[in-house]
Amino acid sequence: MISNTRAAGSLDLLRMMLTIRKAEERLASDFKAGMLPGPVHLYIGQEAVATGVCAGLDDRDWITSTHRGHGHFLAKGGDPKAMFAEIYGRSTGICGGFGGSMHVADVSKGILGANGIVGGGVALATGAALAAQLDGENRVGVCFFGDGAAAQGVLGEALNIAALWKLPLILVCENNGFSEFSPSSNVIAGDIYRRAEPYGVPSVRIDGNDLDAVLEASETALDRARNGGGGTLIEALTYRIHGHVEGEQAFLKTPYRADEEIERWRGEDPIERYARRLVDQGEMASGKFAELEEDIGRMIRDAADSVADDPYPEIGNLERHRLGAE
């Protein structure tokens, strides 16, 4: 697996974005094929955010994620195979098939889990940041959340506490312009990043499809957090190319966004932009990208295929999670 460290090189970062992309493309086709038992929310188009932020983290840093959490899981070092198995509902899944797409977690990697409650990860990450502060080992807590989630009151509560206690908390808002089917402007007043200002928490808005911008903003935030400077709110502007949830066409009567809008954002693809930048600046040979795509495509295909027929969990396993069972 690609491991994520501050020292990650450009190619590793590109590989990570491609890993996320290919994994999700696979999930999209799995969904169409009826292979997925539950709903999936894909991250396609937003890969630079998870990749850039997690580039500066290691296994001992904590993240919390969202219903759209595969990208965060992979970028933080989660195993694609174990993720596929989980989403297929198999016993070999990272959560034994108990959690599924909305709950992929790997605590050994510092991944406290995707979360099906919008805004649910905010308080968890605040708590993890408190633990990090108590540990005194310069860890951080990072919370990924959406623009829609910014309407949850818990965000203000977390900003207040983070400011008061100078918690090493990094709040990463992925503003993809939609909260389900509502455009942000219908449900979010003003600029999200500015919501940190009254608390005295530094904040910044960046182009979330520009991996370099994400790297820079998160490096600043991480330096601050690791050096006792407290929290940061990063608002990364991005876009989800797929629907809110796969299969949404089946139940939506009218489209909620224009095809041209989607096309325009395809032109801002974070992976292509970064690859182009690497080629332009001579950091990558021009044929390399196709090669990477193929390699990673194969790796993902193999990962998914290798677990697609794994056994379902034993029903007896349920008893393991009853109160009183050790």
Partner 1 sequence: MRKRMIHAINDALFEEMERDERVILIGEDVGASIFGDTRGLLDRFGPDRVRDTPISEAVMGGMAVGTAAAGYRVVCHLMYANFIYTAFDAIANQASRLRLMTNGQIRLPVVFMAAGGGGRSNAGQHSDYPHAPVASLGGIYVATPSCSADAKGLLKTAIRTDDPVFFLQPTSRGGEMGDIPEGDHTVPLVSAHVARQGDDVTIVAVGAMLRIATRAADALAEEGVSVEIVDPRTSYPLDEDVILASVRKTGRLVVVDEARAAGSVANHISALVCEKAFSALRAPIIPVTTPDLAVAYSPPLEKAMIPGPEDVVAAVQRLIKETGQ
Binding site for its own copies (CB under 8 A): 151-157, 159-160, 163-164, 186-191, 194-195, 197-201
* 318 binds partner 1 per the rule CB under 8 A: yes
Q: Does the footprint of partner 1 cover residue 77 (CB under 8 A)?
A: no
**Choice between 88 and 144, CB closer to Mg ion:** 144
Q: Which helix (H) or strand (E) holds 265?
A: helix 259-266
Q: Which of residues 236-255 bind partner 1 (CB under 8 A)?
A: 251-254
| Residue 161 engages partner 1 in binding (rule: CB under 8 A) | yes
Q: What residues are paired with 171 via a beta bridge?
A: 143, 233
* Contacts to ligand TPP by CB under 6 A: 66-68, 116-118, 146-149, 176, 178-180, 244
Question: Can you name the residues that pair with 63 across neighbouring β-strands?
Answer: 111, 142
Q: Based on the shown chain and the rule CB under 8 A, indicate whether residue 231 belongs to the binding site for partner 1.
A: no
User: What is the closest distance, in whole angstroms, from the C-beta atom of residue 300 to partner 1 in the complex?
Assistant: 21
Q: In the complex with ligand TPP, which residue's Cβ is closer, 31 or 178?
A: 178
Asked whether the beta carbons of 73 and 114 are under 8 A apart, the reply is yes
Return the residue of 4, 31, 42, 62 that touches partner 1, per CB under 8 A: 62
Q: Which residue is nearest to ligand TPP (CB)?
A: 146
Run of H or E including 63: strand 62-64
Task: Please name the residue that has the structure tokens 């299969």.
Answer: 247
User: Which is nearer to ligand TPP, 99 or 148 (by Cβ)?
Assistant: 148
For the bound state, the minimum distance from the C-beta of residue 182 to partner 1, rounded and expressed in Å, comes to 6
The pair of structure tokens assigned to 150 is 């910014």
In whole angstroms, give the CA distance from residue 252 to residue 307.
32
Q: Which is nearer to its own copies, 164 or 318 (CB)?
A: 164
C-beta of 192 vs 213, nearer to partner 1: 192
Which residue of 33, 190, 260, 322 would you call a contact of partner 1, by CB under 8 A? 322
* Nearer residue to ligand TPP within complex by CB, 179 or 203: 179
CB of 64 to Mg ion, least distance (A): 16
In order, the DSSP letters of 182-216 are EEHHHH--S-SGGGGGGGT--EEEEETT-HHHHHH
The tokens of 164 are what? Answer: 């008061």
Q: Which of residues 26-45 bind partner 1 (CB under 8 A)?
A: 37-39
Distance CA 197, CA 229 (A): 15
**Residue of 6, 135, 191, 228 that binds partner 1 (CB under 8 A):** 135
58 binds partner 1 (CB under 8 A): no
User: What's the order of all strands across the beta sheet hosting 203-207?
Assistant: 62-64, 141-146, 169-175, 232-237, 203-207
Backbone angles phi, psi at 114, to 5 degrees: -65, 170
Q: At what angle do helices 47-54 and 270-280 cross, to 10 degrees?
A: 60
Query: Shortest distance, CB of residue 170 to its own copies, whole angstroms?
Result: 17
Q: Are 305 and 80 in contact (CB under 8 A)?
A: no
Q: Please, which residue, 4 or 152, has the CB nearer to its own copies?
A: 152
- Report the nearest approach of ligand TPP to the CB of residue 311 (Å): 30
- Specify the residue, 245 or 279, whose C-beta has the smaller distance to ligand TPP: 245
Nearest to 143 by CA among 128, 165, 121: 121
309 Cβ neighbours under 8 A, 6+ residues apart:
none
Place of tokens 């310069």: 138
214 binding partner (options Mg ion, ligand TPP, its own copies, none; Cβ < 5 to 8 Å by kind): none
